[in-house]
Amino acid sequence: MGQTIPVTVLTGFLGSGKTTLLNRILTENHGQRIAVIENEFGEIGVDQDLVINADEEIFEMNNGCICCTVRGDLIRILGNLAKRRDKFDRILVETTGLADPGPVAQTFFVDDDTRDSFDLDGVITMVDAKHAELHLDDSEEAMAQIAFADVLLINKIDLVDGDELNALERRLRAMNAMARIERVRMADAPMEQVLDVGGFDLRRALDIKPGFLEPEYPFEWGGVLHIDGTARFRLHNGPDPAMSAVLEPVDAATPEALTETAERVFTRFSAPDSVLKPGAAIRPGETHWTLGLTGAEHYEYMLEVDRPGLYALFTEHMPEEFDAGFCDAAGATLNVAVEHVFNPEHTHDDTVQSVALELDGEIEEFALSAWLSRLLQTQGPDIFRLKGIVALKGEDRRFVFQGVHMLFDGQPGAPWGDQRRSNRLVFIGRNLDEAALEQGLRDCRVQ
Amino acid sequence: MNGCRLDRWAVDAPLTGICVERGGRYAAFAGGDGCVRVVDLQDRELALSALSLTSGAILALVADSRAPAFICGADNGAVYRVHAVEGSRELARFTRPWPDQLATHPCGLRAVSEGPQVRVLDAGGQTVTELGDHPSTVAGLASDSSGRRLAVSHYNGVSLWTLDGRCGEPHRLYHRGSHLDLSWRSDERFVVTATQEKTIHAWDLVSGQDTSLGPCMSKVKSISWSADGSWLLASGTDTVSCWLFSTGRLPPAAPRMLGRYSEHLVARVSANPRHALIAAGYNDGGLDLVSLAPRPQRRALTSAPGSPIAGLAWSPDGNCLLGGDSDGRVFVCRFETDVLARLA
């Protein structure tokens, strides 16, 4: 048997740019011969490549595994491609927009013939920057595509502004902490970002570094104002009878300066607050102010500074929720020079999320295997992907493993050497109970 | 082994098909290099003559309904007829991937899969009848002994088509899951399939019963019936699995396990058409002859190490065994009269 051939899976909703990326890969001068398995007839492919159009055939496996489906067409086509003397260097599988990548991934776990000749290199999911939020709100498949991804390519970033993009990235990150996220315009991702990802290669799994989320801000909004001694902050009734706010000098009316200032005042929101009544003054300083916003139709607070200049005001809620505005002492409208929406999407309660566990100490092999098998049996349908590197008792080498729904695959990895032995697991799934997972892992620890 | 002459060639392309034409004189090897190599078994000095049909791979090869010829399907979508002497011609070309399931019968039947359809072709390659849509891409095709019925395996079972010129509905044999290779017992009583779940599924067309056998240790790549039809033989385990089907009841008793026992599984089996003998090819390239007698004998024809055996076939008279492995080492083994009878 010769070497195995890497298979890259391209998913993404209709219009997200899968075909553009596919064309880029095929036409780029990388010297590889590529076979493409796609589902819609496309006018692509260069001379040396092969484009195969096939219908996605989802087969259930009768192996007692309630969610185990495989791609029958893939087994057959890959089986036939493996027969060629003149082998391809790489296979690309493009799924239909609405496809759940689960069956594709499971095919590589379940079918021995496929495993013998091919390696699943990675799942690349194209995300349409403009329409992704919409898709994620109403499509299980879109969520599954995010959850399964090794690489998330946010495409068409030129069609949205920076805040929208940051919000989308945060949302994706919360769902899938394992994937690498890249931003591209016309699906113009460098080939090294999408090929040879090694997403399912346990031999390459040396460490698990889930992408930690940028901190959640205790304020939703920040804006830079030029305050000449006194300004007025006018508000109406909103969703909350009170709102926290902080005022702080800022170096420049730029987004960077605003973000820097945001980091500086971050902790101030958890300091003891000073409660203000309408008409009172918000001043710069170490305090965070709580503005009373109840009992009237509209409210006015003063922004008072000793030295005229640029100041950033951070508010717990979006000003427009309170129909708020600013004016100077004389009553002329004061424009916000720069504003930024911080963590605006914290209202998304996506059912798909990532849980990362880290635990020191050594793990009892038997306990781990019993725990994981119970977990996958009961929650497998909700677990899209699982990766782990653990230190088993008495083993010099790491034990690395991965799972896709109810399927599991593990092997000894690189030796620990001088490195600190620790245990890291990442789950990407629906309805994950972080505390229970953590306890489950804790219970596997050598006492 | 004494009493046989073994000729070998290295063709440097995975073996993808192997068979002897209906006249019994010519054998052919199909390769992953797009070639069909034909050999005249009556020549004392065997010589392979290669016909290059495509730059891709030949995916399947069977004896044509008329001797001395073969038909084969390739991954360019073409179906070729390869005449042992007169060369090849393209019979038909399909758009859906790929014509990898073929079945023929001396009555003139030529059936080829195209996705979920089966096309019955005439001698000129024109589609006479289209059978389908099946619930999935066709994964196995086999004609019964009389050539009147065609069995088609697919997801969730088998469809039995009666080829009487009327386009009726097929008789459906239902069983959940993906059914692959397919075989009739020669008396047309049993239809068996190898499944994605590493089992074999058997239907008794007389009693209407069906049963699952196994699971085996890997997917079953070849199934075969002993010459008298009493044993169903299968690859996929570390020995040849032999189920006794002569009792007329399903399920059969636990299988006899014959052949060499090692960590390398049986990759291919082929029953001798005359004698109670099986050829077994293993994943390490090893090759055995095993008798089905109550006290079985085993003779190693070639030994390991090598690549997994990818095909085995007997000539109709049972005196000649052909085979090859996934790296393209192919062989013809001609047995002297009586050698096989004594072994059986």
Chain B positions in Cβ-Cβ contact with residue A81 (cut-off 8 Å): 75
Domain boundary residue, one of A298, A320, A341? A341
In the structure, what pLDDT confidence band is assigned to residue B14 with cuts at 50, 70 and 90? very high
Number of domains in chain A: 3
- Classify residue A205: in a domain, yes or no: no
CB pair distance less than 8 Å for A57 and B155 = yes
What distance in Å separates residue A428's CA from the closest CA in chain B? 28
A9 and A49 in a common domain: yes
Query: B127 is written with which tokens?
Result: 């589609």
Question: What ipTM, to 2 d.p.?
Answer: 0.95
Q: Is the pLDDT of residue A44 over 80?
A: no
What pLDDT score was predicted for residue A435? 93
Query: B194 is written with which tokens?
Result: 């190898």
Mean pLDDT estimate for chain A: 89
A100 and A175 in a common domain: yes
Q: Write the DSSP symbol of residue A351.
A: S
Chain B positions in Cβ-Cβ contact with residue A83 (cut-off 8 Å): 14, 16, 32, 57, 59
What pLDDT score was predicted for residue A343? 66
- Classify residue A206: in a domain, yes or no: no
Average of per-residue pLDDT across A162-172:
88
- Classify residue A371: in a domain, yes or no: yes
Mean pLDDT estimate for chain B: 94
- Helix (H) or strand (E) holding B81, with range, is strand B78-83
Of the partner residues B12, B59, B308, the one whose CB lies closest to the CB of residue A85 = B12
- Classify residue A209: in a domain, yes or no: no
A178 and A105 in a common domain: yes
Give the range among A35-44, A242-251, A408-417, B232-241 with minimum mean pLDDT. A35-44
Give the span between the Cα atoms of A278 and B49, in whole angstroms. Answer: 99
Q: Is the pLDDT of residue B297 over 60?
A: yes
Average of per-residue pLDDT across B47-70:
96
Domain interval for residue A368? 352-442
| Residue B274, amino acid | R
In the structure, what pLDDT confidence band is assigned to residue A208 with cuts at 50, 70 and 90? confident
Domain boundary residue, one of A302, A320, A341? A341
CB pair distance less than 8 Å for B218 and A80 = no
Alpha-carbon torsion (A280, A284, A288, A291), positive or negative: positive
Q: Does any CB of chain B come closer than 8 Å to the CB of residue A269? A: no
**Closest chain A residue by Cα to residue B328:** A85
Give the range among A77-86, A151-160, A418-427, B300-309 with minimum mean pLDDT. B300-309
Alpha-carbon torsion (B172, B178, B181, B184), positive or negative: negative
Give the range among A217-221, A301-305, B49-53, B335-339 with minimum mean pLDDT. A217-221
What distance in Å separates residue B326's CA from the closest CA in chain A? 8
CB pair distance less than 8 Å for A85 and B100 = no
Chain A positions in Cβ-Cβ contact with residue B54 (cut-off 8 Å): none
- Classify residue B70: in a domain, yes or no: no
Q: Is the pLDDT of residue A97 over 90?
A: no
Average of per-residue pLDDT across B193-201:
96
What pLDDT score was predicted for residue A2? 59
B interface with A, Cβ–Cβ below 8 Å: 12-14, 16, 31-33, 55-57, 59, 75, 96-98, 100, 115, 136-137, 139, 155, 176-178, 196-197, 218-219, 307-308, 326, 328
A370 and A277 in a common domain: no
Per-residue pLDDT reduced to its tens digit, A333-384: 999 999 988 765 455 667 899 998 989 999 999 999 999 999 999 999 999 9
Domain boundary residue, one of A144, A171, A200? A200
What is the bridge-based pairing of β-strands B320-325 and B329-335?
A: antiparallel
What distance in Å separates residue B94's CA from the closest CA in chain A? 12
A185 and A92 in a common domain: yes
Please say whether the beta carbons of B250 and B211 come within 8 A.
yes
Of the partner residues B97, B115, B197, the one whose CB lies closest to the CB of residue A61 = B197
Q: Is the pLDDT of residue B90 over 60?
A: yes
Give the span between the Cα atoms of A220 and B65, in whole angstroms. Answer: 77
What pLDDT score was predicted for residue A438? 94
What pLDDT score was predicted for residue A1? 45
Chain A positions in Cβ-Cβ contact with residue B97 (cut-off 8 Å): 52-54, 77, 80
In the structure, what pLDDT confidence band is assigned to residue A248 with cuts at 50, 70 and 90? very high
A328 and A288 in a common domain: yes
What distance in Å separates residue A369's CA from the closest CA in chain B? 23
A144 and A9 in a common domain: yes
Residue with tokens 């001395």: B68
Please say whether the beta carbons of B243 and B255 come within 8 A.
yes
Chain B positions in Cβ-Cβ contact with residue A70 (cut-off 8 Å): 196
Number of A–B residue contacts, CB under 8 Å:
78
CB pair distance less than 8 Å for B75 and A55 = no
Chain B positions in Cβ-Cβ contact with residue A72 (cut-off 8 Å): 136-137, 139, 155, 178, 196
Per-residue pLDDT reduced to its tens digit, B221-278: 999 999 999 999 999 999 999 999 998 889 999 999 999 888 999 999 999 999 999 9
What pLDDT score was predicted for residue A66? 64
Question: A61: domain CATH number?
Answer: 3.40.50.300
Average of per-residue pLDDT across B205-217:
95
A158 and A38 in a common domain: yes
Question: A399: domain CATH number?
Answer: 3.30.1220.10
What pLDDT score was predicted for residue A193? 85
Question: How much is the pTM?
Answer: 0.83
CB pair distance less than 8 Å for B219 and A75 = no
In the structure, what pLDDT confidence band is assigned to residue A217 with cuts at 50, 70 and 90? confident
A14 or A110, which is more confident?
A110
The three state secondary structure string of A8-74 is: EEEEECCCCCHHHHHHHHHHCCCCCCEEEEECCCCCCCCCCCEEEECCCCEEECCCCCCCCEEEHHH
Question: B232: domain CATH number?
Answer: 2.130.10.10
Please say whether the beta carbons of A261 and A312 come within 8 A.
yes
Number of domains in chain B: 1
What distance in Å separates residue B274's CA from the closest CA in chain A? 32
What pLDDT score was predicted for residue A238? 87
What pLDDT score was predicted for residue A372? 95
> CA dihedral in degrees (B184, B185, B186, B188; nearest 10)?
-70
CB pair distance less than 8 Å for B97 and A52 = yes
Q: Does any CB of chain B come closer than 8 Å to the CB of residue A294? A: no
CB pair distance less than 8 Å for B55 and A80 = no
Cα distances (angstroms) measured from residue B178 to each of A59, A72, A364, B171 = 7, 8, 39, 18
A37 and A182 in a common domain: yes
Chain A positions in Cβ-Cβ contact with residue B96 (cut-off 8 Å): 53-54
Interface of A with B in 30-89 (CB under 8 A): 50, 52-55, 57, 59-63, 70, 72-73, 75-77, 80-86
| Residue A131, amino acid | H
Give the span between the Cα atoms of B319 and B333, in whole angstroms. Answer: 8
Chain A positions in Cβ-Cβ contact with residue B14 (cut-off 8 Å): 82-85
Average of per-residue pLDDT across B57-70:
96
Chain A positions in Cβ-Cβ contact with residue B311 (cut-off 8 Å): none
Chain B positions in Cβ-Cβ contact with residue A112 (cut-off 8 Å): 218-219
Domain interval for residue B319? 216-344
Strand, helix or coil for residue B202: strand
- Classify residue A85: in a domain, yes or no: yes
What distance in Å separates residue B325's CA from the closest CA in chain A? 11
Per-residue pLDDT reduced to its tens digit, B153-165: 999 999 999 998 7
A411 and A288 in a common domain: no
Report the first-to-last Cα separation within chain A, whole angstroms.
45
CB pair distance less than 8 Å for B196 and A70 = yes
Q: Count CA atoms closer than 13 A to A226's CA, side-chain side.
A: 8
- Classify residue A347: in a domain, yes or no: no
A275 and A135 in a common domain: no
CB pair distance less than 8 Å for A62 and B218 = no
- Classify residue A436: in a domain, yes or no: yes
Strand, helix or coil for residue A145: helix
DSSP string, B103-162: EEETTTEEEEEETTEEEEE-TTS-EEEEE---SSS--EEEE-TTSSEEEEEEEEEEEEEE
- Helix (H) or strand (E) holding B178, with range, is strand B171-184
A414 and A376 in a common domain: yes
Of the partner residues A52, A59, A63, the one whose CB lies closest to the CB of residue B155 = A59
What distance in Å separates residue A135's CA from the closest CA in chain B? 30
Per-residue pLDDT reduced to its tens digit, A425-444: 999 999 999 999 999 999 99
Chain A positions in Cβ-Cβ contact with residue B135 (cut-off 8 Å): none
- Classify residue A247: in a domain, yes or no: yes
